[in-house]
Amino acid sequence: MPAQTLLNELKQAAMQPLETAHSLPFAAYTDNAVLAAEAQHIFHREWVFVCMAGELPDAGDYYALTLAGEPIIVMRGEDGHLCTLANICRHRGTVLLDAGFGRVDKYIVCPYHAWAYAKDGSLQAIPFNEQIHVDRTGHTLSRFQCAEWNGMVFVNLDPQAAPLSTRLQGIDPYLAMFEPQTFSHCSGGTAETWLTNWKLAMENAMESYHLFKVHENTLETYSPTRQAYYIAGSSEWTLTGGATARKKGLLEKVFGASYSELYEHYILVSLPPSFVGVLTYGSFGWLSAHPVDAGTTLIRSGATFTKDGSGGSPQSDEFTRAFFAEDQQMCERVQTGMSATLSRGGKLVDMERVVVDFHQFLATRLSRQPATPLFEDSMAQRFLAGA
């Protein structure tokens, strides 16, 4: 199928409302031309989650990654603020820092010709400078937008993009009762390679319809599928939730015998293109999905939590590893099905409204269309009221 024809089919399918929404064309999960369009119109223009601010506590701490083909560095500067720099030397284009977390004591030094940059990206030194004259101000590392939300770091490669606060407008009041802004501890794992398209990984992470089957002995025992519900959402972000089987000891310790029943629930936060988080009282676990190619995605997870929260413990880490392994196996199985050319997907059901929102995000970005209106279900007002 010609690339433009496939893109048009993708846009048309993705824009459908819940009543008529179907699965996207299978080829949209395998075609590199689709991924190229997503890189150009989504990952190079949207606010993309990359790491936790708490993972970069000190000046010189950095996280280096490739974001849809663009090598970047998120670094804590000498002024204590985070900044995002191109991880490409201004001399010959060499990648400066290896992928992952690390620390720069004084300068970022190119491994090829040893051009040295300060933590703010300014060119500081060139070997043999008595013989070589370079305009240092004209050779600073490119800088990109960087912003935090509840201790989470987002990057936008588009210098003209609206602030992150605009992108997330309206979401915070629904989360207020859990006070995620007070979570001061964090933990994060290493990136895993899943042999699946990034969209499949995101769709799987955000919907609860599959829990009873794929996670029968893990997530289903904690957050049963039958008790999941939609809260509010649009193409910009979506909140779903559900009752949990969490132990009440922590809640009774904090609130006494009387507390809102909502504290026994979770809120699943979907922020396309790359972030899904599960917020409860005391912890906010998350997953990020960054495309490598049409059939490969880097998956990373972690959590931010209070001192007394459930995040970061060996038990919670083991639980996370267990259901992540189940998710990886299923996503890779679905990816295999996406190679079919004589079959097609079917109707998305009511419990997959969050997936419809995600598809509409894709459509609005690929077609340069305005955001879809916010839809609130019956639980929305309860979370806004905190009771």
Q: Report domain extents, the chain.
A: 3-36+169-385, 48-155
Task: Kindly tell me the burial class for residue 69, based on how many C-beta atoms sit within 10 Å of its own C-beta (0-12, 13-18, 19 or more).
Answer: middle
Confidence (pLDDT) at 343: 95
Alpha-helical (H) ranges within the chain are 3-14, 32-38, 164-167, 172-175, 198-206, 211-214, 219-222, 249-255, 314-337, 353-366, 380-385
**E strands present in the chain:** 48-52, 61-67, 70-76, 82-86, 100-103, 108-109, 116-117, 123-125, 143-149, 152-156, 185-188, 192-194, 228-233, 238-243, 265-271, 275-280, 283-293, 296-305, 375-376
Eight-class DSSP state of 88: B
Cis peptide before 71 (omega within 30 of 0): no
Q: Residue 42 is encoded by which pair of tokens?
A: 């989504």
Give residue 294's region: left, alpha or beta (phi > 0; psi -120 to 50): alpha
Q: Residue 169 is encoded by which pair of tokens?
A: 């407008």
User: Cβ atoms within 10 A of the Cβ of 275, count?
Assistant: 23
- Mean pLDDT, consecutive 10-residue stretches, the chain (387 aa), reads 86 96 97 97 98 97 97 97 98 97 97 97 91 89 97 97 97 96 91 97 97 94 95 98 76 64 94 97 95 97 82 71 95 98 96 98 96 97 91
Supply the angle between the helices 353-366 and 3-14 in degrees, to the nearest 10: 130
Nearest one of 190, 172, 170 to 181, comparing CA atoms: 172
- Tell me the CA distances in angstroms from 204 to 97, 127, 149, 211, one per residue in order: 32, 50, 24, 10
Confidence (pLDDT) at 1: 64
> Which string of b and e fits 365-387 if b means at least 16 CB within 10 Å?
bbeeeeebebbbeebbebbeeee
Long-range contacts of 349-352 (CB under 8 A, 24+ apart): 349/209, 350/18, 351/207, 351/208, 351/209, 351/225, 351/228, 352/21, 352/207, 352/209
Which residues are within 8 A (CB) of 303 and not within 5 positions of it... i.e. 6 or more apart?
186, 187, 188, 283, 284, 285, 286, 311, 312, 316
Confidence (pLDDT) at 245: 79
Fold of 48-155: Rieske Iron-sulfur Protein (2.102.10)
Rg of the chain over Cα atoms, rounded to whole angstroms, equals 22
Identify the CATH homologous superfamily for domain 3-36+169-385. Naphthalene 1,2-dioxygenase Alpha Subunit; Chain A, domain 1 (3.90.380.10)
